[in-house]
A and B are shown apart, each in its own frame.
Chain A
Amino acid sequence: MFKKIFIIIKREFLSRVKKKSFIVMTILGPVLFAALITLPVILARWSDSEYSVAIVDNTGLFYDRFEDGNDVVFTNLPVSLDDALELLQREKFNAILHIPEAAFESPSTLRLFTTKAVNINAKIHVENVLKHEFESLKLGARGIDSEVLRAIETNISIQAVRILSDGMEQTDYPEVSMALGIISGLLIYLFIFLFGSQVLRGVLEEKTSRIIEVIISSVKPFQLMMGKIVGIALVGLAQFLIWVFLTLLLVFVVRTAVPDIFQFTPDEQVHITSAQMLDTGRLEEQMDTIQHHDTAAGQVLESLSAINWYVMIFFFIFFFLGGYFLYAALFAAIGSAVDNEADTQQFMLPVTIPLIFAIIFGQMVMVNPAGPVAFWLSIIPLTSPVIMMIRIPFGVPFFDLYLSAFLLIAGFLATTWLAAKIYRTGILMYGKKVSYKDLWKWIRY
């Protein structure tokens, strides 16, 4: 029994791994991923051409307060508004900012004229400058110096410290956890879809090419289905592990080539005990360390090094496999029930909805990763692979993790059992448009 499943797994794995598309995706994956992160930065550098804003300032108070920046260039235009609009028509400028005399009393009279759709960055820039200047003027009118205002302006960024069960405290960086959570959640979602639909197409191929009957005269339909599902799981696993390996390799190469980038690496982890926290002397010392890491890059690198990568990768693989097995069985059942790819649509919807649902609610989970929505969605097997992966970077209680893992295993055993019943009947059905009622009959049969 297992020998034949093994032969099937081997074929399903090798036939896919040998494909050009697999090799290309495996090598290109990490490169694409890197490009996805770096490209927006590079594109922002190139950016657009400059956006020119001419200022018609009837109050004469503000025109010199605008500094060029963010690709916006300001010009003072001491002419009448009509003349300025004339120049705008002739495309001498991209926009005209009109500050009428009444603007100081009623800011709603401010106008930004354009001939084309307005550049949002320029509009926000103008608004920020005017807000600041209006406030300074108003404060001045009440006898408060703008210097005082500068002095009391404070940047607040609260350090979130989590008290761990062993009394240790750990600095949280929710922004980093968020990014990591959504990336791994999305990756699970993509993997389930990508490899789940490969199962569907594989089953459909065997059915439409009519080789299925030859094969199931040698092996049980269940063996064929499981062989296919496991074989494709191994393809996904191989792809993921190669990606991890190539990414590490890429990082290593960059690190040896340009070592300067990694100088920020914190020399000390921000781990202190509660007792130390109460000691003021130690606290100040600790504050220094924290000050040290105040640069954004330092914070990101520190929080990244605080994440237990082995745990991340282990659970990623677990939830990928669990979620994949759960859905792959359903995809196999769909593939067996229809005659061609077009007919799959009616059955695909209920299978894909929970996954899409998980991604949509993922944002809510990120905001409150320990809330009830996060808890329930990370327990229910249909959504748990995606949601749990979003939660894990924030840290998850062991109870939630074990319950979710247990239910996921129970869930995929249930879908596999269900799918096997549909599959063994479906693969021998030709030329009949199958309805949900038929599927129900096959399950009960």
Chain B
Amino acid sequence: MDNLIQVNSVTKDFTGHRALDNVSISVPKQSIYGLLGPNGAGKTTLIRIINQIIGPDKGEIFFNGEKIRPKHVEKIGYLPEERGLYKKMKVGEQALYLAQLKGLHYHQTKKLLKEWFEKFDLLNWWNKKAETLSKGMQQKLQFIITVLHNPKLLIFDEPFTGFDPINVNILKDEIFKLKEQGATIIFSTHDMGSVEELCDEIALINKSKKVLEGNVRKIKKEHAKQIFRVEMAGLSSSFETLKKENFEIVEQSTKDGLIEAVIRINNDKTTNDLLEALIEVGNIVSFNEVIPSMNEIFISTVTQNQ
């Protein structure tokens, strides 16, 4: 089995509306998997179904090749979008309690927990009430609780909302570390920057349906529209000659003595044809394919579907 999570044709109806419509996704082992989509698309519902908080109306979920069962919750760490703590409960006690609910034993957990607290500078708060923690510290504590039982699968729902930039970086580093240690991570987000930075695979959900899934690099390649950016020096002839050969000049500008142009290749031509034509025009300084950002892909896919 290459996929840690396999969701097959899941449909979920709530009274009055369909939250998920025949959605299938495959999450490869030891990958970082981004779950993207506009608000209300059904991401949180899918995440809740994988967490067995709610059941699907139709479809199946497999965890590591086995049909998902209650015992699997101990192999999953979940940081929900709406995350909180018992305000009046002491920090250490609280972490121990939640860890026990994930199936860990009290004594082995205490030692492990102290190490994590040490790492995140929380040790002095062990015996203080959770309400005395700052927002940032609360989030650190929630992160520790999520990963403490060393789960095979980590699910973060909008993990970066509410974090300050320093904590976002700490969190990203930890996510990479967890991946290196063999964990698989699913996270949902609106932040396309972090998707490009972190994700190996993505699925895009819009209006209860999956509209896009796959490897991030492949998706970007597929969405590349044969557009190239060139920088030229010393033109011997004008760009006009390119037009005759059926190349489309999208943009043209002069900067610091260099001429910059964005050119689209139309149907029958290849990259080599363009290069040959450009050599005729002048000296090529640089030549790059314009690859769309995830943000552009996200927006164009979502608007296409409307």
Contacts and interface: CB of A to CB of B under 8 A. Distances in A.
Interface in B31-64: 48, 51-54
A209 B53 CA distance: 18
Nearest to A220: B70
B101 A211 contact: no
B76 A217 contact: yes
Contacts of B264: none
B120 to A, nearest CB: 18
Among A206, A215, A217, A441, chain B packs the most CB atoms within 10 A around the CB of A217
A205 interface: yes
Contacts of B285: none
Nearest to A15: B89
Contact of B83 (A4, A206, A213, A216): A213
A4 B48 CA distance: 20
Interface string B83-105: 11111110000000110111000
B85 A211 contact: yes
Given A209-B87, A220-B70, A430-B82, A215 B101 contact: yes
A214 interface: yes
A15 to B, nearest CB: 7
Nearest to A223: B101
Contacts of B73: 217-218
B186 interface: no
Interface string A419-431: 0000000001010
Interface in A206-256: 206, 209-220
Contacts of A218: 73-74, 98, 101-102
Contacts of B78: 213-214, 217
A445 interface: yes
A428 B52 CA distance: 13
B292 interface: no
Contact of A217 (B53, B84, B89, B142): B53
A206 B88 CA distance: 11
A370 interface: no
B124 interface: no
Nearest to A221: B53
A161 interface: no
A428 B44 CA distance: 11
Nearest to B81: A213
Nearest to A207: B84
A217 B77 CA distance: 8
A209 B86 contact: yes
B80 interface: yes
B97 A7 contact: yes
Contacts of A209: 84-87
Nearest to A215: B101
A439 to B, nearest CB: 12
B15 interface: yes
Nearest to A216: B53
Contact of B53 (A15, A205, A211, A213): A213
Contact of A213 (B52, B70, B80, B88): B80
A11 interface: yes
A63 B76 CA distance: 94
Contacts of A211: 83-86
B295 to A, nearest CB: 28
Contacts of B82: 210, 213, 430
Contacts of B87: 205, 209
B203 interface: no
A210 B145 CA distance: 15
B58 to A, nearest CB: 15
Contacts of B51: 217
A153 to B, nearest CB: 67
A15 B130 CA distance: 14
Nearest to B79: A214
B84 A4 contact: no
A11 B73 CA distance: 21
A11 B53 contact: no
Interface in B119-155: 142, 145
B101 A219 contact: yes
Interface string B1-38: 00000000000000100000000000000000000000
A428 B80 CA distance: 12
A205 B85 CA distance: 10
A47 B52 CA distance: 68
A15 B86 CA distance: 11
Contacts of B85: 209, 211
Given A220-B70, A441-B15, A215 B53 contact: no
B15 A445 contact: yes
Given A15-B89, A211-B85, A428-B53, A217 B97 contact: no
Interface string A8-30: 10010001000000000000000
30 contacts: A4-B101, A7-B100, A8-B101, A15-B88, A205-B86, A209-B86, A210-B80, A210-B82, A210-B83, A211-B84, A211-B85, A213-B80, A213-B82, A214-B80, A214-B83, A214-B98, A214-B142, A214-B145, A215-B98, A215-B101, A216-B53, A217-B53, A218-B73, A218-B74, A218-B101, A220-B70, A428-B54, A430-B82, A441-B15, A445-B15
Given A214-B84, A430-B82, 10 more contacts: A8-B101, A15-B89, A210-B80, A213-B78, A214-B80, A216-B53, A217-B52, A217-B53, A217-B76, A220-B70
